[in-house]
């Protein structure tokens, strides 16, 4: 399954629209929060199922984390602010172990992460709107079959 992973878009429609040129090829899109309304916009213009969650800049009454399965992989989608991810992945790792997930998709820091520890993949797509840490405006395409393959898309 081809999954687009984007987040921390902060209503920057110029770069969301650029990203959508690539996202239209996906079967599913994940939005890591900030701004939840952007996940609705992405769904509307692509017509692709989009799962979004609430970030620290969102005020909608929606979930702030969701767990679901894709093939043999169990995925946690969250923003990350509740796990202090700007300082360490330790709290997020504890949550991943509690939920028995294989992949944690998160945002918040605006810095891309593709890191595996104890068979858990930690994936942050960065930000198309406000990149930080000398990163580019980017998001990720995650291909899931027998294995997980990550492709960074730089705008």
Q: What is the 3-state secondary structure (H, E, C) of 15-35?
A: HHHHHHHHHCCCCEEEECCCC
Average pLDDT over residues 115-140: 97
1-45 per-position pLDDT tens digit: 999 999 999 999 999 999 999 999 999 999 999 999 999 999 999
Taking each helix axis from N to C terminus, what angle separates 13-23 and 36-46, rounded to the nearest 10 degrees? 50
d(CA 118, CA 65): 21
pTM above 0.85, yes or no: yes
50-89 per-position pLDDT tens digit: 999 999 999 999 999 999 999 999 999 999 999 999 999 9
Beta carbons of 105 and 118 less than 8 angstroms apart? no
CATH of domain 2-154: 3.60.21.10
Tell me how far CA of residue 26 lies from CA of 14, 29, 107, 133, in angstroms. 20, 7, 19, 27
Domain layout of the chain by residue ranges? 2-154
Q: What is the pLDDT of residue 89?
A: 95
């Amino acid at each position: 399954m081809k999954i687009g992973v984007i987040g921390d878009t902060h209503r920057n429609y110029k770069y969301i629209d650029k990203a959508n040129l690539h996202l239209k090829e996906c079967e599913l899109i994940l939005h890591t929060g900030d701004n939840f309304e952007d996940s609705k916009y992405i769904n509307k213009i692509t017509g692709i199922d989009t799962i979004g969650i609430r970030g620290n800049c969102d005020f909608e009454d929606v979930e702030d984390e969701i767990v679901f399965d894709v093939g043999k992989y169990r995925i946690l989608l969250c923003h990350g602010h509740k796990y202090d991810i700007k300082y360490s992945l330790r709290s997020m790792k504890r949550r991943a172990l509690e939920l028995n997930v294989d992949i944690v998709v998160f945002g918040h820091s605006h810095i891309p992460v593709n890191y595996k520890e104890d068979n858990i993949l930690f994936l942050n797509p960065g930000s198309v709107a406000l990149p930080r840490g000398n990163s580019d405006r980017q998001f990720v395409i995650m291909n899931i079959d027998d294995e997980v393959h990550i492709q960074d898309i730089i705008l």
